[in-house]
Amino acid sequence: MKEDFLAVLIGNQEQARILRTLVFNEDERFTSTLLGKRAGVAAGRTELELQDLQKKGVTRHTKVSGERAKKDSSTVWTLNPSFKHLKALNVFVRKIAPMQFDEIIPALRGTGKLSTVVLSGSFMGDESRPADMLLAGDSLNERRLGKAVQTLEPIFGTEIRYAAFSTPEFRYRITVSDKLIRDTLDFPHLVLMDRSGLL
């Protein structure tokens, strides 16, 4: 795996994963268990790293009351909106994420004969987009594709919403200005692969 510059910079791989997860999911509240699972970090270590980030002013925790508290931990964690460097930190973490983009194509090998891979949504810092990744290819194996995407989620610290099409279907959707395709390509996006020459 390519060196994670964020981890190198702060000297802590687990904290880098947790921080990236929080940044890419800034509107979500996490229990330490869920956050650890999303970031690919052991639960006990996640709690320690969250406490360290809290000491630095980056994170905060709140108590949950009512029905949710009965089902899960009574404490949830988020980025601290009062942290004075939050906006700069958010931009920085997202800006250096492209260092990891070269992990995506290798992770998708074995899922079929890929022709197109486009990143959008959370990868571009825009959660309002309908998908984070568009894929097109031939003989795509949905089960393998789902597992491949799951292996990428801890790297980027977010659940990856994706849509996959056969190459002919993708070509057709572009031709008819399909809404999903338009809502991706008309906004900031990154083409990682375009063997079909459609983009």
Confidence of residue 73 (pLDDT cuts 50, 70, 90): low
Residue 69 pLDDT exceeds 60: no
Average pLDDT over the chain reads 87
Nearest to 31 by CA among 66, 69, 76: 76
Residue 52 pLDDT exceeds 50: yes
The strand pair at 190-194 and 113-119 is best described as antiparallel
Residue 21 pLDDT exceeds 80: yes
> Based on the number of CB atoms within 10 Å of its own CB, is 161 exposed (0-12), middle (13-18) or buried (19 or more)?
middle
Dump pLDDT digits (tens) for 97-133.
Answer: 655 677 899 999 999 999 999 999 988 878 889 999 9
Dump pLDDT digits (tens) for 180-191.
Answer: 999 999 998 999
Nearest to 61 by CA among 46, 40, 80, 33: 80
User: What is the value of pTM for the model shown?
Assistant: 0.66
- In percent, the amount of the chain with pLDDT more than 70 equals 92
Residue 165: per-residue pLDDT: 95
- Element (DSSP H or E) covering residue 180: helix 179-185
Half-sphere exposure of 62 (CA within 13 A, CB side): 10
**Gap between the Cα atoms of 31 and 13, Å rounded:** 20
Domains assigned to the chain: 5-84 (1.10.10.10), 100-194 (3.30.460)
User: Which is more confident, 154 or 131?
Assistant: 131
Residue 177 pLDDT exceeds 80: yes
Rounded mean pLDDT, 24-52: 89
- Element (DSSP H or E) covering residue 190: strand 190-194
Nearest to 46 by CA among 38, 155, 72: 38
Rounded mean pLDDT, 163-192: 93
Rounded mean pLDDT, 70-92: 84
